[in-house]
A and B are shown apart, each in its own frame.
Chain A
Amino acid sequence: MEIIATRPQSLTSTPFTYCPGCLHGVAHRLIAESIDEFGLVNQMTGVAPVGCSVFAYKFFNFDMAQAAHGRAPAVATGIKRARPDMHVFTYQGDGDLAAIGTAEIVHAANRGERISVFFVNNAIYGMTGGQMAPTTLPDMKTTTSPYGRKVDDIGYPIRVSELLATLIAPYYIERVSLLSPADIIKAKKAVQKAIKYNKEGRGFTFVELISTCPTNWGIDPVKSREWAKENMLPFFKPGCFRDKGEGVE
């Protein structure tokens, strides 16, 4: 029998714990496929955040660390400095990376730490049941912004890719979306690029993946993607903000 599709080598057989229709699984698969493609499965290690992807340390098929909430970039720094022969990535949600872990991500980026960061932005705290995130859109209702996010009171969503692009050191920063098959193909290219640059030791690479949270948005998976296309993409515009490999400064 000819095998035409299989689980990437970089994923274990542990079943994902995500809700049906959640895009965390898609993001995992893109990362795992890219690691396979660059032949890095034996030199790779990753850091799982606190968030719905907290169990990512069980899903990737190499040594993994689980970090305290927001601290994954610091943990990845420690691993990379201790083991420069290995390749290190973090996988983080928007609460983890853009709220409690803001200092860690900004400074890891600013040091040009030779790690890849995969940032899954679903505009909400998924794991804890749908509270407001730093990326929650203006007027968007969450359990802790029951009357909608009031920008006069709590400010505007943070555009992390743009923020990090103000720094000089980062090598590659791109925002992509996981909202349609065509977008996922583009997203794969960005993930591949980050892994490639990581393999080559170029510097800090960052891919923001616009995602959904059907469960806490209270919208079914298909409509969630439509909602995100209409509401998230105008605010979080996909694009490449930095690619020193291709002269995008």
Chain B
Amino acid sequence: MAKVLMKGNEAVAEAAIRSGCRLYFAYPITPQSELIEYMAKMMPKVGGTFLQAESEVSAINMVYGAAGAGKRVMTSSSSPGISLKAEGISYIAGAELPAVIVNVQRGGPGLGDIQPAQGDYFQATKGGGHGDYRQIVLAPSSVQEFADMASEAFDLADKYRNPVMILADGMLGQMMEPVEFKEARSQAELDELGKQHNDWCICPNEDGDKKHHHEINSLEIDPAVLEAHVNALYKKYAVIEKDETRWEEFNISDDNEILCVAWGTASRIVKSAINEIKAEGKSIGMIRPITCWPFPYEAIAKAIGPKVKKVYVFELNTGQMLDDVKIAVNGKVPVDFWGKVGGIVFTPAEIQEKLEACF
């Protein structure tokens, strides 16, 4: 399939539809508006449901209902709206429903601004909603990857019956890059997908032995039952940590003197800086977490080669993933951090300057 030039927001929407998403509920917010508008235009053309909800709270609860009916369903928003979805995401995790949530992050806290930022890392990876749960967090760094993550997110959500968040930002949402889409899932495939949840989801009933009573529920009033439920969730999360941790290694070698760690938009800029420094004959590598939860702790620990003097973390926040990197590094070498906030994005030259000073 030929490449097309598209904004990230539109690309992820198109890819979601191709992955079999036929229900989408959301509330408008910048910088994700192209996503909701694309869905409004395209869903009716594929016989799907587009519904502009009265709030992000309602949208996520519509997702809860549709996911409870076993269908591929998605919502999207940007930072302030994701805060409103937090309650619903907790319920989705508790009730073990498959759902995909896109966060096109903007500057915060509060109303913040509408420029790209990475300030929702804590919210996405450490909870956001209440209670003891985890959500899978995929962090794209290009429009192509943003699009590819749609189908990956649906597959992971279905496989683990768990919320999956694609954690992008205003830069990835708004910029145009060439994208190549996968073939759309055929109707036969979609019908097959539709059946995979029939043993637990809300679906028409039958008489006699086949009668079922499926409960979409996160309430367990008996502490012993809730304990068993949460422990079962944790077993599932351990499997996800083992099997689904993803990262990219960039220029990693035993000669590395500096190891960078950056995710999403920030990682693109760090890559450019590394390329400049490489050209000067210095050795420097980068680990880019692709899943922010589960986090690639081991990959980072392993990438600290014999000559590494320092691990340098760059983020568009005041140091959120930094905590996870410190856990991974576990005191082996010093960890430094530099970030930009307020929706201001650092330049490759700025990163290069920071890194050059380390040699």
- Chain A residues at the B interface, C-beta cutoff of 8 Å: 12, 41-45, 47, 54, 57-58, 61-68, 71, 74-83, 85-86, 103-104, 106-107
Kindly state whether residue B13 has any CB partner on chain A within 8 Å.
Answer: no
Taking the closest CB of chain B, its distance from the CB of A8, in whole angstroms, is 14
Q: Is the CB of B217 within 8 A of A78?
A: no
Which of A67, A77, A81 has most chain B Cβ within 10 Å? A81
B213 interface hit (Cβ, 8 Å): yes
Contact B61 A74 (CB under 8 A): yes
Residues of the A chain whose Cβ atoms lie less than 8 Å from the Cβ of B206: 42
The closest CB in chain B to the CB of A65 belongs to: B216
B193-237 residues at the A interface, CB under 8 angstroms = 201-207, 212-219
**CB within 8 Å for A83 and B51 given contacts A67-B61, A68-B87, A75-B61:** no
Q: Looking at the assembled complex, report how far the CB atom of A56 sits from the nearest CB atom of chain B, in whole angstroms.
A: 11
Q: How far is the CA of A49 from the CA of B203 in the complex (A)?
A: 20
Shortest distance between the CB of A100 and any CB in chain B (Å): 10
Q: For the complex, give the distance between the alpha carbons of A178 and B189 in Å.
A: 50
Q: Closest residue of chain B to A75, judged by CB?
A: B65
Q: Enumerate chain B interface residues (CB-CB to A < 8 A).
A: 23, 25, 49, 51, 53-55, 57-59, 61-71, 73, 87-88, 91, 95, 201-207, 212-219
When distances are taken between beta carbons in the complex, the residues of chain B under 8 Å from A78 are 23, 25, 61-69, 73
With contacts A74-B62, A78-B68, A81-B23 taken as known, whether A43 is within 8 angstroms of B55 at the C-beta atoms is: no
Q: How far is the CA of A63 from the CA of B71 in the complex (A)?
A: 15
B210 to chain A, nearest CB (A): 10
- Would you mind naming 16 contact pairs between A and B with Cβ atoms under 8 Å apart? A42-B205, A57-B215, A62-B205, A64-B214, A64-B215, A64-B216, A65-B217, A66-B219, A67-B64, A67-B91, A68-B64, A68-B91, A71-B61, A74-B57, A77-B51, A106-B54
Q: B204, A107: Cβ atoms under 8 Å?
A: no
Taken together as a complex, chains A and B put the C-alpha atoms of A12 and B214 apart, in Å, by: 12
Separation of A71 and B62 alpha carbons in the complex (Å): 9
**What are the 8 tightest A-B residue pairs by CB atom distance, in nearest-first order?**
A78-B65, A74-B61, A78-B62, A82-B69, A65-B216, A82-B66, A78-B66, A107-B54
Contact of B54 with A104 in the complex, beta carbons under 8 Å: yes
A83 to B23, CA, bound (A): 11
Residues of B within 8 A of A81 (CB): 23, 49, 51, 62, 65-66
A66 contact from B53, B62, B212, B215, Cβ within 8 A: B215
Partner of B65, one of A57, A65, A103: A65
A59 to chain B, nearest CB (A): 10
A122 to B238, CA, bound (A): 45
Q: Is the CB of B202 within 8 A of A104?
A: no
Chain B residues closer than 8 Å to A103, beta-carbon distance: 54-55, 57-58
Closest A-chain residue to B91, C-beta based?
Answer: A68
* Chain A residues positioned under 8 Å from B71 (CB to CB): 82-83
What residues on A are CB-neighbors of B49 within 8 Å? 81-82
Contacts of B212 in A (CB 8 A): 63
**In the complex, what residues of A have CB within 8 A of residue B23's CB?**
78, 81-82
Partner of B58 from the list A63, A66, A104 (CB cut-off 8 Å) is A104
- Select B217's contact among A57, A74, A76, A86, beta carbons within 8 Å: A57
Q: Are A12 and B213 in contact (CB under 8 A)?
A: yes
Q: How far is the CB of B215 from chain A (nearest CB, A)?
A: 5
Tell me, in angstroms, the Cα distance from A74 to B68 when the chains sit together: 12
A residues near B218, Cβ cutoff 8 Å: 66
What residue of chain B has the Cβ atom nearest to residue A61's Cβ? Answer: B213
* B-side contacts of A63, CB under 8 Å: 201-203, 205, 212-216
Residues of B within 8 A of A79 (CB): 65-66, 68-69, 202
Inter-chain contacts of B95 with A (CB < 8 A): 66
